Structure 1
């Protein structure tokens, strides 16, 4: 079991560090304290070769390039203070109206103009035993992107010998505020060079959430039976997928409670399988329609549909829909969620 912290340079927001976690099975993960980005997630394929299953860049500097930021897809970053879209960038808490940033067709997307994905987190601590872990901290100040309250957020990543990479969010506030945090890793279990249509996918959901024309959740549940969204039994992603749109949809996890299975994905080429477990009630499937044509790791050219995301969270826009779960965090309460990525290749657990 190994952990290593490497200095990567300094920005106006603080020093950059890359923390590497490695278990005894040869699985390794690199976490950047900028955006809490999962920079790499390397596992053994069925033939024993190493495959990096997340999109991103070889060099840290590339996450700051104009080419990347001008067509920004949030590669591998934490998303907050509020994931996905908030209708009109508006919400109400205790009778008071709040207008947060409107950065996507008049709505607020992924926390606003500069969300947690572009923040430098403090490296609180890291350890190799009993499992490699790292804990990051970011304090989001009152009024940031016009959200109320100071939010004190901790993220702990852990890689164990069961080939499980977990991340846990914990946050507190000094004033009532809206919170719904997720992580935006882009997965390609073939290593990123090809599109993901032939990946096999299962989603543990009986319903998905209706969206308006701007992809904002309305609050209505739609049964997935006999629709293109029915992934209850394993099938390829592209079997019923609109080839122009892909999928960009929130699925309500069946029988949530505790740490529940949300989804499973598998590569026919490498044999790598990814199981996603979470304490959250929703998993959002996004198939990368807007991934820019850009050079990624090892000179591989990325583009639309070169990866999928399985973003665990509370129902998007829930802050505006009383019938959906409460996403108001209040002083004295702790926001706490946990998601686990378990990888295997048919030869190892």
Structure 2
């Protein structure tokens, strides 16, 4: 693998925005911006031997800070923090003290997805980004130092390693929000064959807030254990926006999902050390003038967001989503592509 760092010429909050390209011996390429740790492209060879970009994004950086895009913001390709997904009413309690966030989704109104991360030196060809979130940012307690390392293996595995420490107990639940489309010409993902390694899912209320109830997938539209077309059982107006409890030991690296598109022959497998995978079929996606001038519409992508339980900070029975001084937050997620 090799890396190449290119300036975009843009300065945000006094920091320069760079694009970093990782390339492996197969000729596969990943482009990542240090703004939001955005994975802007992931180019692999499909079964026809053609180069194919499997993530949604823009041709250049300006698209990610365009006002029209931000007005209906889908977090396309970005890191999510301090807390992925939804916290009920944006409130939680740590050490007897109540905290009210500025928003209840993906870490607040101005989360890690809108920060310019520092590029750290690395020994091997990889990209390590660091962001230091000050105490009180988005009303979270504690200064949180986060490092995220990207590697592209010669087996077309995009490996994400998260590392975080804090100086005061705080809430932490990180993920990455890449939108995938495996078809050569894009379009609706309903016919993709999808499997989740999960026999249980997390109940959600009408506002998509996790309630604390863990339910079996058997006999429901959420049963992907044997694999099936994504659109086989879905509500065609809603799609999927659902968290699944993975069938593996807590903290163990294991399969989260496997998705295949017949015409391109591409298969995307997601492996993670996290206990939860949130499966989202882009119901709210509405982006104009994206790559190649294309528009992106609802259900034209899918996301597999590996994380701890959404709203887990408010559900004592769920795995811990607080981090204290002296502890280290670690997570590894792998996106593996084959054809």
TM-score (norm 1): 0.95
Report deviation, 1:101: 1.4
Contact 1:187 1:308 in 2 (8 A): yes
Contact 1:55 1:76 in 2 (8 A): yes
The DSSP-based 3-state class of the residue aligned with 2:59 is coil
The aligned counterpart of 1:10 is 10
Give structure 1 stretches of 5+ with no counterpart. Answer: 103-107
- Of residues 154, 159, 163, the one that matches 1:161 is 154
The aligned counterpart of 1:105 is none
Contact 1:151 1:171 in 2 (8 A): yes
- Of residues 200, 220, 234, the one that matches 1:207 is 200
Please report the RMSD computed on the Cα atoms of aligned residues, expressed in angstroms.
Answer: 1.0
- 1:145-181 CA deviation, whole Å, 9 max, x = no partner? 0000000000000011121110011000000000000
The DSSP-based 3-state class of the residue aligned with 1:271 is coil
- 1:22-56 CA deviation, whole Å, 9 max, x = no partner? 10011110010000000000010000001100000
The aligned counterpart of 2:247 is 254
- Of residues 199, 210, 219, the one that matches 1:226 is 219
Contact 1:192 1:302 in 2 (8 A): no
The DSSP-based 3-state class of the residue aligned with 1:290 is coil
> Which aligned runs of 4 or more in structure 1 are off by greater than 3 angstroms?
none
> Residues 142-291 of structure 1 correspond to what in structure 2 (within 5 A)?
142-191=135-184, 193-257=186-250, 258-291=252-285
Contact 1:155 1:169 in 2 (8 A): yes
CA–CA separation in structure 1 for the residues paired with 2:249 and 2:333: 13
TM-score (norm 2): 0.98
CA–CA separation in structure 2 for the residues paired with 1:174 and 1:3: 33
> Residues 67-86 of structure 1 correspond to what in structure 2 (within 5 A)?
67-86=68-87
CA–CA separation in structure 2 for the residues paired with 1:147 and 1:179: 9
The aligned counterpart of 2:22 is 21
Report deviation, 1:309: 0.3
Report deviation, 1:191: 4.6
CA–CA separation in structure 1 for the residues paired with 2:140 and 2:335: 30
CA–CA separation in structure 1 for the residues paired with 2:194 and 2:279: 10
Farther-moved stretch of structure 1 (283-292 vs 3-12): 3-12
- Of residues 255, 271, 290, the one that matches 1:296 is 290
The DSSP-based 3-state class of the residue aligned with 1:304 is coil
The aligned counterpart of 1:312 is 306
Contact 1:247 1:285 in 2 (8 A): yes
